[in-house]
Amino acid sequence: MTNTDLLRYLRQYYYQLKVCRGFIEALLPKTLSFIEIVDVDVKTDTFDLQYEVRALRLVSTWHVNVAGLAVVATLLSIVLSIVWTAVAVRVYDQDIQTSVQTGFTLGGYLITAEALVIAMVAYSASLYEMNIKEQREAESLAHNHSRRVSLQAPEAWSGGAM
């Protein structure tokens, strides 16, 4: 197996985990940025031993398209303001000052709505990440305090209950 194959399998594993986490994870505009090898210090309660373990860390970051969405929405609001003004003056023979004010007011509303949507997505993403972090810490504490080792594979790996 080459390094490229290994990275491809790890990327597939990451996206499978993303699907398993649920609908909100699929909606979040995050993507796998890079994979790194980290050294983890592990201390056991049983024998008071401390040793180093190497692990893979899958780092996900905000997707570049989210920033592009903000730029597109800003340009869309400017175009809307100009088109509104042009149509109101030429087609409906309205006052130019009133048409410009109305057009840029609509553009401002569009920018405000865009900012609210981005803020709600960022807030829900932070809440979701805090929840995932708390679950991992709780699982880690439960795992560190248990002295029993399970040698059986989880049901999800073995294809379900037999």
Quick one: three-class SS letters along 113-132? HHHHHHHHHHHHHHHHHHHH
Instruction: State the sign of the Cα–Cα–Cα–Cα dihedral 96, 102, 107, 108.
Output: positive
pLDDT value of residue 8: 80
pTM of the predicted model as reported, rounded to 2 decimal places: 0.50
Where the chain has pLDDT below 70, the residues are: 22-29, 44-50, 63-67, 139-162
Q: Encoding tokens for residue 146?
A: 């248990």
Helix (H) or strand (E) holding 8: helix 3-21
CB 45 within 8 A of CB 147: yes
Rounded to whole angstroms, the Cα distance separating 135 from 87 reads 55
Please provide residue 60's backbone torsions phi and psi, each rounded to the nearest 5 degrees.
Answer: -110, 140
